[in-house]
Amino acid sequence: MSTQIAGHLLVECLIAQGVTHVFGVPGESYLAALDGFHDHADEIRFVICRQEGGAAFMAEAHGKLTGRPGVCFVTRGPGATNASIGVHTAFQDSTPMVLLVGDVGSDFRDREAFQEVDFQSFFGPSTKGFAKRVERVDEASRLPEYVARAFAAAMNGRPGPVVLVLPEDMLRSAVQAKPLPRVEPALAWADPGGLRELRQLLLAARRPFVIAGGGGWTPQAAQALQRFAENWQLPVGNAFRFQDTFDNHHPLYAGDVGIGINPKLAARVREADLVIAIGPRLGEMTTGGYALLEAPRPAQKLVHFHASAEELHRVYQADLVFNTTMNAAARALEVLTAPPELPWSDWAQAVHADYEANLVPQPLPGPIDMPAIVQCLQKHLPADAVLTNGAGNFASWVHRFYRHHGLAKGFKTQLAPTSGAMGYGVPAGIAASITTGRVAFTIAGDGDFLMNGQELATAVQHGGKSIIVLLNNGMYGTIRMHQEREYPVRVSGTALHNPDFCALARAYGYAAERVTETPGFEAALLRALAHEGGTLIEIPLDPEVITTRGTLSAIRSAAQERR
């Protein structure tokens, strides 16, 4: 066995795990690994990003798209702490991810050396951090073991982020070792006895409802879920920002169960006598602040499928739980025999009718008709287009009005942070474009865009082509909405003085144009789709148009009346 530098071995270990792209910002603490990427440039691509937060979001987005860990490489101290926003997003979104951190040399450790951080304390599960595992590799010969374990831990059970800390001197050391084979996630199957009990609960129900979402879904699992729903004629809602789990065009689709939920759908969930949650954590956003399902004991019968045993009975005491991966859960459910007749057919049809009615918009002021803009996107974006967004009220337009064909058609099409992280959409769209070649569309707000807009330079350098629609209302709109609700007319800390977004995009190498009236958008979108590179379309949006359902003035007036 030949001797090589440990940094080169690390790169070979990543290749053995099927990694094709690593997102990062270079640092002197892992020069030996960067040298390894040079030697393997035809097998693995190091995508040079402009800030570690953007790099971590790109890796997280890649993990969502592929179902295997997205990889981010950063340097110690500020590099790792900048990347922590992506690690937290991967944790809350149940996305497999591996963060590699170049660290201070072993001979300087525990002296508060330059940029030294105790990463076990910062990220670790033992300190209630947000990584599944945090491990430091001090012995170069064990790199294959640590890398393989990191990938297994990121994928097994509830998917999530793993952090590997790599001392600089270890990466420079000579080593005789070879990579371990590619690891695959383990499948945890649903208990047959529990499935019989679930069938009895279904037979006793009159208003059943399915909530699907969370991490770990594949096209095959989504197709099996669809067959289960069709066999039992079950209305299916998708959990918060997992709107591509079930086909939005399907006659059993109920809508998204999350922020800005259709009030009629919220009422349906409350009225249900059996809720079957397949995959979601049943967190604050999906449960409407733990109100659609009352914690800890819901009024509805609750059946919860989840890949992590720790998540089951964590918030809600369910009537029946299954510790199972989504592939296994859906494949077990699709063969659950339904009776010839079901008593809730009218209920299922009414739930879907509520969804269809919710696609009819309320009239709102201003020259921009956002539902018409989304309808134009629906008309021209291909079915496999990847839609991305960060956090803010601007995302509600696509959440409410865009209809995903879903994973059952073979593609993941939504990348959005359930963690509510601003700045996610732009780098996520760029990552989707670079790694898949599919059309990547991003909707962003002005405040959201400026948190990671610098990654347009990454897109141009690496041949990414994203289309960004930037809604500019001159404020942090979501916070302003809450501000008017709680402290009407007392505006503080939410107004923004913005740059010339089109000039900024052009400076990075994107095409850019400004659309001020609805009829001009279709031609701008078609130009963007035909353009060889990325495009930013800025749309000034009336600040009054604060949600898909109402105005800022209406929120303020209601708050003043309450006082």
pLDDT at residue 92 greater than cutoff 80:
yes
pLDDT at residue 290 greater than cutoff 90:
yes
Confidence of residue 172 (pLDDT cuts 50, 70, 90): very high
Q: Which two tokens stand for residue 376?
A: 């134009």
Alpha helices in 359-500 (DSSP H): 370-380, 396-401, 425-436, 446-452, 456-462, 477-486
d(CA 196, CA 179): 44
User: Contact 422/391 with Cβ under 8 angstroms?
Assistant: yes
pLDDT digits (tens, 9 = 90+) for 393-407: 999 999 999 999 989
Question: Who wins on pLDDT, 36 or 563?
Answer: 36
User: Contact 459/528 with Cβ under 8 angstroms?
Assistant: no
The pLDDT score that the predictor gives to residue 115 is 67
pLDDT average, residue stretch 115-142: 86
The pLDDT score that the predictor gives to residue 125 is 80
The pLDDT score that the predictor gives to residue 127 is 66
pLDDT average, residue stretch 524-546: 97
Lowest mean per-residue pLDDT among 112-126, 300-314, 442-456: 112-126
d(CA 529, CA 304): 42
pLDDT digits (tens, 9 = 90+) for 506-520: 999 999 999 999 999
123 to each of 30, 99, 129, 152, how far by Cα in Å? 20, 11, 5, 18
Confidence of residue 104 (pLDDT cuts 50, 70, 90): confident
Confidence of residue 275 (pLDDT cuts 50, 70, 90): very high
pLDDT digits (tens, 9 = 90+) for 412-452: 999 999 999 999 999 999 999 999 999 999 999 999 999 99
The pLDDT score that the predictor gives to residue 112 is 74
Q: What's the whole-number average pLDDT of the chain?
A: 95
Taken in order 463, 464, 468, 472, the sign of the CA dihedral is negative
pLDDT digits (tens, 9 = 90+) for 181-192: 999 999 899 889
User: Contact 27/102 with Cβ under 8 angstroms?
Assistant: yes
Query: Residue 529 contacts by C-beta under 8 Å, 6 or more apart in sequence?
Result: 380, 439, 467
Confidence of residue 119 (pLDDT cuts 50, 70, 90): confident
Q: How many CB atoms lie within 10 A of CB 369?
A: 18
Please name the amino acid found at residue 212: A
pLDDT average, residue stretch 77-103: 96
Residue with tokens 């359902």: 549
The pLDDT score that the predictor gives to residue 124 is 84
Taking the mean position of all CA atoms in its chain, how far away is CA 213?
Answer: 11
pLDDT digits (tens, 9 = 90+) for 228-245: 999 999 999 999 999 999
pLDDT at residue 116 greater than cutoff 80:
no
The pLDDT score that the predictor gives to residue 221 is 97
pLDDT at residue 493 greater than cutoff 70:
yes
The pLDDT score that the predictor gives to residue 106 is 81
Residue with tokens 């958008």: 521
Domains, the chain, ordered by start: 4-175 (3.40.50.970), 192-358 (3.40.50.1220), 370-562 (3.40.50.970)
pLDDT at residue 50 greater than cutoff 80:
yes
Q: Where are the beta strands (DSSP E) in 454-526?
A: 466-472, 511-514
Question: Who wins on pLDDT, 115 or 35?
Answer: 35
pLDDT at residue 114 greater than cutoff 70:
no
